[in-house]
Structure formats: structure tokens, C-alpha cells
């Protein structure tokens, strides 16, 4: 059972545009929602994370929007740059379950110059 569904699977955006990736979860016990960026052949790197007590969090060009009632959250990459081309994973975890991360399927983002 895939508990975190991520869309789209791939995304092409022009330099300077906005990349938007969406995730939906099923387990209402999830209480921590990080986004990771992964380049080919490398491990994931934490980008930004949010807890369900806030609806939005911004760090530089990256913004998470969180809708608790809809059980959805999204990542917005503003002013997308070619160096942002990577695979992005949303994830969710539950402290009571040992903070094990459940990952979405990933979104491959290509930013064209």
C-alpha cells in the first residue's frame, strides 16, 4: 500500500519558472513531512520540512504548502534554475512509529535554460 502518492512523475520547466510537485498521504498519524532532493548517483539531501501545525513554510526559493484537511502537501520551487534539475521526493513520518520515512514515488524535474 503506497501511503504517500506523488505527482507528477516528471516535470519540465523553463528557467525562471515555477516547479510544483504534489503529494497526498493517507495515514493521519503522520506528523512530519520533509522534501528531499536527489542528484543521480547521490544520496538524498534534505531541502525543507514541515509539521502539520503550519500551512506554509518558505526557505529561499523553496516553499511547502500543507493542507491538513485534504491530506496534501506540495513543494514549490520558485525561479527554477538548471541546477535544480534533480529528482525530488516527498516523505512522511510518524514519531510514534519511530520516525520511519515513507517516501513518495519521486518527481524528476528538468529545468531548461
Partner 1 sequence: GAVVSQHPSRVICKSGTSVKIECRSLDFQATTMFWYRQFPKQSLMLMATSNEGSKATYEQGVEKDKFLINHASLTLSTLTVTSAHPEDSSFYICSARGDLGETQYFGPGTRLLVL
Does the footprint of partner 1 cover residue 83 (CB under 8 A)? no
Does the footprint of partner 1 cover residue 98 (CB under 8 A)? yes
- What would you report as the CA-atom Rg of the chain, rounded to the nearest whole angstrom? 13
CA dist 86 and 65 (Å) reads: 20
Of 64, 80, 89, 111, the one binding partner 1 (CB under 8 A) is 89
Bridge partners of residue 21, in order along the sequence: 75
Provide CB contacts within 8 A for 29, sequence distance 6+: 94, 96, 97
CA dist 23 and 89 (Å) reads: 9
CA dist 112 and 95 (Å) reads: 39
Does the footprint of partner 1 cover residue 78 (CB under 8 A)? no
Of 20, 24, 48, 49, the one binding partner 1 (CB under 8 A) is 49
Query: Could you tell me which stretch among 22-30, 38-46, 55-63, 64-72 binds partner 1 (CB under 8 A)?
Result: 38-46
41 or 83: CB nearest partner 1: 41
What is the binding site for partner 1 (CB under 8 A)?
32, 34, 36, 41-46, 49, 89, 93, 95, 98-106, 108
Amino acid at each position: 500500500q503506497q501511503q504517500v502518492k506523488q505527482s507528477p512523475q516528471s516535470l519540465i520547466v523553463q528557467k525562471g519558472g515555477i516547479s510544483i510537485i504534489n503529494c497526498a498521504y493517507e495515514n493521519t498519524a503522520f506528523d512530519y513531512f520533509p522534501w528531499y532532493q536527489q542528484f543521480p548517483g547521490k544520496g538524498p539531501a534534505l531541502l525543507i520540512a514541515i509539521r502539520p501545525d503550519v500551512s506554509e513554510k518558505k526557505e529561499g526559493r523553496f516553499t511547502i504548502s500543507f493542507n491538513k484537511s485534504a491530506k496534501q502537501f506540495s513543494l514549490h520551487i520558485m525561479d527554477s534554475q538548471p541546477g535544480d534539475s534533480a529528482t525530488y521526493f516527498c516523505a512522511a513520518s510518524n514519531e510514534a512509529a519511530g520516525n520511519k520515512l515513507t517516501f513518495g514515488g519521486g518527481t524528476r524535474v528538468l529545468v531548461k535554460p
